[in-house]
Amino acid sequence: MIPDWEDARADETVGRGEIRLTDVSVGYDNGTILDRMTLEVERGEFLCVEGPSGAGKTTLLRLLYGSLPPRSGTAVVDGVDLVQLRPRHVSRFRRRLGCVFQSYELLPHLTARENVLLPLQLAQMAIDVPEERASDALEAVGLSDKAHSLPAQLSGGQQQRVAIARAIAHEPAILLADEPTGNLDPVATAEVMKAFEVFHEQGGTVIMATHDEALRDNYARRVIRIDPRAA
């Protein structure tokens, strides 16, 4: 019998906001990027993933986000068994996570508040007043005064903070970030990292891939390094 969504999220050994990878291999086409990787992340950790380009940092985040299925091993994220997860349930699984990319991916014709609100409406989540949730998320990242501004009227750091607000508006337990400050100057980087710290201080789990040694040294509570797989 094909496991349904209830079966995929039945692993109660891994709680809310926790991650367990055991001997996981994942890759693209015929190539393996991560080979027999084991990783445990507790709820409320701030984990930095470092390594050179091509080592597999983005691959790891794509695995955790449900974009790449594991080829072998066990992978449980926020209580969901990714091995049992079927494609039709990926979108529901992703509602349990937040994800921030290097590119802000804001819709230029929508205000900051509308950019945060739209995913809440499209996902049809059980949120009584999504408009209030969007406003609360902008307040959490310090942008209440920019709620009605278009992306073109915002600085790079402000746009990235809107992206973070969008990622946390549905109150995920885990926030994934792929080089979130790669396009920002030091001042904007500090603004963005403050938003991550607020999420973390409220008990959220943060997994951040970055090349930036300053971010690793100043913000991460734990660091793991991924090196390119030996040929």
- pLDDT tens per residue across span 13-59: 667 899 999 999 998 887 889 999 999 999 999 999 998 888 899 99
Residue 106: alpha-carbon gap to chain centroid = 16
Residue 87, token pair as written in the block? 């494609």
Q: What is the pLDDT of residue 63?
A: 95
DSSP H helical ranges for the chain:
5-8, 57-64, 90-94, 112-122, 130-140, 156-168, 186-201, 213-218
Domains of the chain by start residue, with CATH: 41-67+89-225 (3.40.50.300)
Q: State the pTM of this model.
A: 0.89
Name 29's Cβ contacts closer than 8 Å, sequence gap at least 6.
none
* Digit-coded pLDDT (tens) for 187-212: 989 999 999 999 999 999 999 998 88
For residues 60 and 55, give the distance between their C-alpha atoms in angstroms, rounded to a whole number: 10
